[in-house]
Amino acid sequence: MEQAKLLCPKTISLILLASVMVLIWLYSWDSNVPSHSNRPSYVDTWTQEQSKRKSRIEKVCQEHGDQLYYDNLTLSRMLQGAGAGDQNTIIFIPKYNILYCGIPKCGTTSWYEDLRKLEVSNLELVPFMKHFKIESTEALLRILEGTPVSFTNVRHPFERLVSAYLMIMDMSKEE
């Protein structure tokens, strides 16, 4: 009777669990088994990928740099809306001390709509953007001295390309 109590299901389960733990511990000390430190981590893989991308960018810039440089796209021109459908892509809402720099095809319109709702503005989108646009580099520097919460939204370049293509296709259907 005494032996039957010792071999009850709980005891057997504990013995099996202890055995598995000992085997795992012994297995982790085996020099033939690759340790976690020998395997590349996600951070290592990410770092290698970023290094490859940086090298590729440097190569393209060296080969085609004269075709890629835009000496006429300055901050002043960007504040005036150059290259953004004649809309300023940087807006500031003083009430909330929020500075937003929109990047086309990266959810910019959605962010402008959300910021407009936050401001509870009855203005349409374009007048709202014009109302809160930054007029000059000097104004931007004054705003930055007030340490606003500044942000932007980014997107994978291929997703931006697809988004632009779909927008153009949609516009061509309307015509």
Find the mean pLDDT for residues 112-119.
85
Using a cut of 0.95, tell me whether the model's pTM lies above it.
no
| Closest alpha carbon to 140 in 79, 86, 80, 88 | 79
Does 26 score more than 80 pLDDT?
A: no
Find the mean pLDDT for residues 112-117.
86
Span 75-103, pLDDT tens digits = 555 555 544 444 557 889 999 999 998 88
DSSP 5-36: HHTSHHHHHHHHHHHHHHHHHHHHH-TTSPPT
Sheet holding 90-93, edge to edge: 90-93, 98-101, 149-152
- Percentage of residues of the chain with pLDDT beyond 70: 72
Q: Which two tokens stand for residue 66?
A: 């004269």
Find the mean pLDDT for residues 101-118.
85
Span 151-161, pLDDT tens digits = 998 888 888 78
Sign of CA dihedral 3, 5, 6, 11: positive
| Closest alpha carbon to 89 in 110, 112, 113 | 112
Dist. CA 98–CA 153, nearest whole Å:
14
Rg (CA), the chain: 29
- The average confidence (pLDDT) of the chain is 76
Decide: 82 and 125 in contact? Cβ < 8 Å.
Answer: no
Span 1-18, pLDDT tens digits = 455 555 677 777 778 777
